[in-house]
A = this chain, B = another copy of it.
Amino acid sequence: MEDIIKKAILAKKAGIVLSRLDTVQKNKCLSHMIDALIEDTEYILNENQKDMAAGKLKGMSEALLDRLLLNKKRLEGIIEGLKQLIALKDPVGEVLYMNKMPNGLLIGQTRVPLGVIGIIYEARPNVTVDAASLCIKSGNAVILRGGSEAVNSNIALVKSLRKALVSAGLPEDSISIIEDTSRETAARFMKLNEYIDVLIPRGGAGLIKSAIENSTIPVIQTGIGNCHVYVDSYGDLNMAERIILNAKISRPGVCNAEEKLLVHKDVADEFIPRIVKSLTESGVEVRGCETTLKLSGDIKPAEDIDWYTEYLDYIIAVKVVDSIDEAIEHINKYGTKHSEAIVTDNYSNSRKFMAEVDAAAVYINASTRFTDGNEFGLGAEIGISTQKLHARGPMGLKELTSTKYIIYGDGQIR
């Protein structure tokens, strides 16, 4: 059995070294990673081919095989990400504030790394480099546990990254990977709260649920997005159509894609037939509530389960609502608190929607597809938190840090 406790102990030790590095040293390490990935390209692509062959043998879908594939161009994309990360501001050491208290104490708060970050993820091997490099730049050690489909690719990538750590003079255990991809080992991994400071599961709803229920390490929930666009009675219908088509079709497999459309009854007669037609013509399967069915005929009815479902596919469910209050209530009940949008030109309704919808990102007159670290100006992201503790929305370098109170005295006692 793989000794994951030993890996965790070594990661914790490495984390202490990383927490004391300055930005120049961390950026040097990221440069070495670029060199190592270029040097090891052939080896990495060969290992990826093993995963691809196994995937084909297992009958993986074309879409999943495409997510699994690494080639020269994709590796160049990964390297481009590392270059951008080098340019990002290091959050560690920033002093958030410092006050002089009446007794003369100087009390401030500074940013420090979290320590050791555990990441459990599925399919895409590019996450391996993205996540590991974000952890290093924020001064954290990382333990990765990828999916079985990508295990050869992930091991090869981590081998290359660890070589870069050593050549940059940093402990190689700053990045480690759990090679055994069994559920039992994942379950043991989730109990290592003595060594790991935070666990970030990235993947489907089943993985997230398992982490919440089994982990003794604090978990940050990510990425389930049952996102809505609500077209208000005061909405500009041309704008609504543009936003809906973009939010649904531009990339249906990602978490900030639109999954549900709510339309106010006062504009339903005009808008429903038109948007159902546009969506259908764009290859989207539309499922409708009773009123939607009446207005647009030949589509599937939506079942109750539809309102809860994140399709991640060319499918949308449409519901006509009587009021903005019903829309907000529906979103807060069925949504996953990811990204929610209203299309309206009414001031009060925009204020109401913004205040009362409970989600990581609430939009007025814009596509939900903007919920993304780069679009929000944070740079690369390690995931999108849909919980309320610690971080909410896209998580960048800052969200991989904690704080420490720093107090300068001259002998003060209480």
Interface residues of A (CB under 8 A from B): 16, 19-20, 99, 101, 105, 107, 109, 112, 114-115, 193, 197-198, 212-213, 216, 218-220, 236, 239, 242-243, 246-247, 250, 332, 354-356, 358-367, 369-371, 375-377, 387-390, 392-393, 402-414
Contacts and interface: CB of A to CB of B under 8 A. Distances in A.
A364 B405 contact: no
A207 B101 CA distance: 34
Given A366-B412, A405-B376, A412-B366, A389 B197 contact: yes
B107 A407 contact: no
A362 B389 CA distance: 24
Contact of A409 (B216, B218, B365, B406): B365
Contacts of A20: 355-356
Contacts of A409: 363-366
Q: How many monomers of this chain does the complex have?
A: 2
A370 B406 CA distance: 12
Contact of A389 (B198, B236, B356, B364): B198
Contacts of A370: 105, 107, 407, 412, 414
A250 B414 contact: yes
A391 to B, nearest CB: 8
Given A20-B356, A361-B404, A409-B366, A99 B377 contact: yes
Contacts of A377: 99, 101, 107
21 contacts: A16-B358, A107-B377, A109-B393, A112-B358, A112-B388, A197-B387, A198-B389, A242-B411, A243-B411, A243-B413, A354-B406, A359-B404, A360-B404, A361-B406, A362-B404, A364-B408, A366-B407, A369-B413, A371-B405, A393-B403, A393-B405
